[in-house]
């Protein structure tokens, strides 16, 4: 049996080990990351950005104190990440946390830098009140600065920090040309895309003329939602661009849904013919999908007018993405309004073709012209096809001897916000998909993976039966309780056996 001296020696040894481990952890910061997407580990892209720093980056985190637990957790995650940035960069990343609420001068400085306060709900003494809070970051590199005005729980922290550092430290961004002149939306009509893409690229709008082609300074040409027919001589400019090593993105509308007139028509611009030489055929059809978005239908009920959401299969919501391409890594849901299916084949053995996204298991197609019956009661019998390709990526010697890349989507409107009062906010993954594609074409640095490196929800599959959904919900609720009860019973029986054993043991005096 243990004597008192032995007992106290063991306690002292355990305390000593604990103190030494804490000292080591303070001097050599490290943490284990068991998440599937390595959410809490620095990526190769971030390490590359930090390796190329030529001067220190000063990060000032304007974070209020005494925040609710879920927001205070964000503060801890940001601090942990900045510690890793600092350690890996050998001190080239210098950070500081300040509380603007503590000093009016600091608060004014934060606001002048672009960090504005937000109002959050705080429970204090069983009462709910609003508190002014700052949750922003300002980065300084030489004479350049970049502000992240608001960080929120669930945001991709590493992407926000790394892209901001790259934006202020990089000297030569890859150049992207946005084609204009055939009815395409302008950059001003794609505000979200422009905001996200401009972090790592220089984007210019270009218009082809009879005497000018596509300047060689551009690494990628983006063709998004053209409406007018392109002259054949301009298509030769596209050929020359690809032959010289240029990459091309084509987001093409082959159909147009006119909701105001409840009809859908086909579109032909000449770009579809140009794509056929690469083995890509964007079909002139409407993809319909059981997994879809809603439209608002105005109905009269007596003297009242009621807006009712109605399921509209012509607005497919895509959740099936390729696991082989960085373009679709981390994406969860993309809405493609009036999309068309894509057929593809290899015209050259040196070209690799990768389908990127697909319709759901219950989908189909309809040929234009069509009439939209918004009140139709859709059943699964209306969806006779499945997993239709809606986007593809090509890589290889597409034309000539140089290896180039191309991405084709069967819809061009999924990144268009519109202008004026008609502008609408699009879901993040719509913008992420297009930005990832242009990143892959122009500057495959690895930031693609960071953009969607977030904590995401995993809802129950909507295609499951109601019985299966109910079973999973109750299992999710009851399983922890059942495991706790089993553990309690096991622990009770174990303690009982120990007591019984001690009761029959003869102790020597």
User: What is the per-residue pLDDT across 391-405, written as a single tens digit (0 to 9) for each?
Assistant: 999 999 999 889 999
Mean pLDDT in residue range 42-67: 86
DSSP code, position 412: S
Residues 456 and 477: their CA atoms lie apart, in Å, by 20
- DSSP sequence for 313-366: EEEEEE-EE-SS-GGGTT---EE-TT---EEE--SSTT-EEEEEEE--SSEEEE
Q: Is 284 helix (H, G, I), strand (E, B) or coil?
A: coil
Specify the pLDDT at position 455: 44
**Burial, 323: exposed, middle or buried (Cβ in 10 Å; 0-12, 13-18, 19+)?**
exposed
Are 178 and 202 in contact, with CB atoms under 8 Å apart?
no
The tokens describing 498, both together, are: 């120990």
Strand pairing category for 404-409 and 320-321 = unpaired
Confidence (pLDDT) at 297: 78
Give the pLDDT confidence of 473-508 residue by residue, as tens digits: 777 777 888 888 888 888 888 877 877 777 766 555
pLDDT band at 355 (very low <50, low <70, confident <90, very high): very high
| Range 77-91 average pLDDT | 90
Report the C-alpha gap between 338 and 342 in whole angstroms. 13
Q: How confident is the model at residue 467 (pLDDT cuts 50, 70, 90)?
A: confident
Residue 308 in contact with residue 299, Cβ under 8 Å? yes
Which residues have a Cβ under 8 Å from the Cβ of 92 and sit 6 or more positions away?
Answer: 50, 53, 55, 56, 57, 86
Tokens (6 digits) for 99: 């509380």
CATH number at 173-451: 3.40.50
The pLDDT of residue 187? 94
β-strand 320-321 against 144-148: which pairing, if any?
Answer: unpaired
* The predicted structure's pLDDT at residue 452: 57
Residue 324 and residue 356: Cα distance in Å, rounded? 8
For 114-144, write each residue's pLDDT tens digit. 999 888 877 766 666 778 889 999 999 988 8
> Could you tell me if 247 and 442 are in contact, meaning their C-beta atoms sit under 8 angstroms apart?
yes
Residue 138 has what pLDDT? 94
The yes/no answer on whether domain 31-167 falls in CATH 3.20.20.140 is: no
pLDDT of residue 34: 45
Q: pLDDT for 380-389, tens place per residue?
A: 999 999 999 9
Give the pLDDT score at 343: 95
| The model's pTM | 0.72
% the chain with pLDDT above 90: 47
Lowest-confidence pick of 6-15, 138-147, 157-166, 385-394: 6-15
Q: What share of the chain is helix, strand, coil (3-state, %, to 5)?
A: 35, 25, 40
Highest mean pLDDT (candidates 25-39, 257-271, 343-357, 464-478): 257-271
| CB distance 416 to 189 below 8 Å | yes
pLDDT score of 107 more than 80 = yes
Q: What is the pLDDT of residue 505?
A: 60
Question: Would you say residue 27 has pLDDT above 50?
Answer: no
User: CA 182 → CA 79, 167, 192, 246, 493, distances in Å?
Assistant: 49, 32, 22, 20, 78
């Amino acid at each position: 049996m243990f004597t008192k001296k032995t007992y106290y020696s063991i306690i002292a040894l355990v305390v000593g080990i604990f103190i030494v481990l804490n000292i080591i952890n303070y001097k050599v910061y490290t943490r284990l990351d068991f998440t599937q997407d390595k959410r809490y580990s620095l990526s190769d892209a971030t390490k590359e950005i930090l390796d190329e720093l030529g001067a220190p980056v000063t990060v000032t985190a304007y974070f209020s104190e005494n925040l609710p637990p879920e927001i205070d957790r964000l503060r801890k995650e940001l601090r942990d990440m900045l510690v890793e940035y600092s350690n890996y960069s050998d001190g080239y990343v210098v950070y500081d946390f300040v509380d603007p609420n503590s000093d009016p001068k600091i608060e004014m400085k934060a606001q002048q830098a672009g960090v504005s306060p937000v109002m959050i709900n705080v429970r204090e003494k069983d009462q709910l009140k609003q508190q002014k809070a700052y949750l922003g970051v300002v980065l300084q590199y030489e004479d350049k600065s970049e502000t992240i005005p608001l960080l929120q729980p669930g945001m991709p922290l590493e992407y926000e920090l790394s892209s901001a550092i790259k934006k202020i430290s990089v000297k030569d961004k890859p150049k992207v040309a946005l084609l204009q002149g055939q009815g395409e939306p302008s950059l001003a009509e794609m505000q979200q895309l422009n905001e996200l893409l401009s972090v790592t690229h220089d984007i210019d709008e270009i218009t082809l003329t009879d005497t000018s082609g596509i300047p060689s300074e551009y690494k990628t040409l983006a063709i998004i939602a053209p409406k007018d027919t392109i002259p054949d001589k301009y298509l030769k400019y596209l050929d020359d661009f690809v032959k010289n090593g240029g990459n091309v993105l084509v987001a093409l509308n082959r159909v147009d849904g006119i909701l105001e007139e409840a009809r859908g028509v086909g579109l032909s611009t000449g770009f579809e013919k140009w794509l056929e030489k690469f083995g890509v055929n964007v079909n002139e059809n409407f993809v319909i999908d059981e997994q879809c978005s809603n439209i608002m239908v105005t109905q009269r009920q007596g003297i009242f007018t009621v807006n009712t959401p109605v399921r509209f299969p012509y607005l497919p919501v895509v959740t099936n993405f390729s696991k082989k391409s960085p373009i679709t890594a981390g994406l969860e849901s993309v809405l493609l309004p009036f999309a068309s299916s894509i057929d593809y084949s290899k015209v050259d053995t040196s070209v690799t073709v990768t389908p990127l996204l697909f319709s759901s298991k219950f989908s189909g197609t309809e040929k234009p012209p069509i009439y939209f019956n918004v009140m139709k009661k859709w059943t699964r019998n209306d969806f006779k096809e499945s997993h239709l390709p809606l986007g593809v990526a090509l890589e290889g010697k597409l034309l000539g001897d140089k290896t180039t890349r191309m991405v084709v989507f069967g819809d061009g409107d999924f990144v268009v916000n519109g202008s004026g009062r008609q502008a609408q906010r699009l879901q993040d993954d719509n913008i992420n998909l297009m930005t990832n594609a242009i990143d892959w074409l122009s500057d495959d640095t690895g930031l693609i993976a960071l953009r969607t490196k977030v904590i995401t929800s995993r809802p129950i599959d909507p295609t499951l039966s109601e019985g299966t959904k109910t079973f999973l919900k109750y299992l999710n609720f009851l399983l922890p309780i059942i495991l706790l009860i089993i553990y309690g019973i096991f622990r009770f029986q174990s303690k009982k056996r120990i007591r019984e054993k001690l009761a029959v043991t003869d102790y020597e005096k």
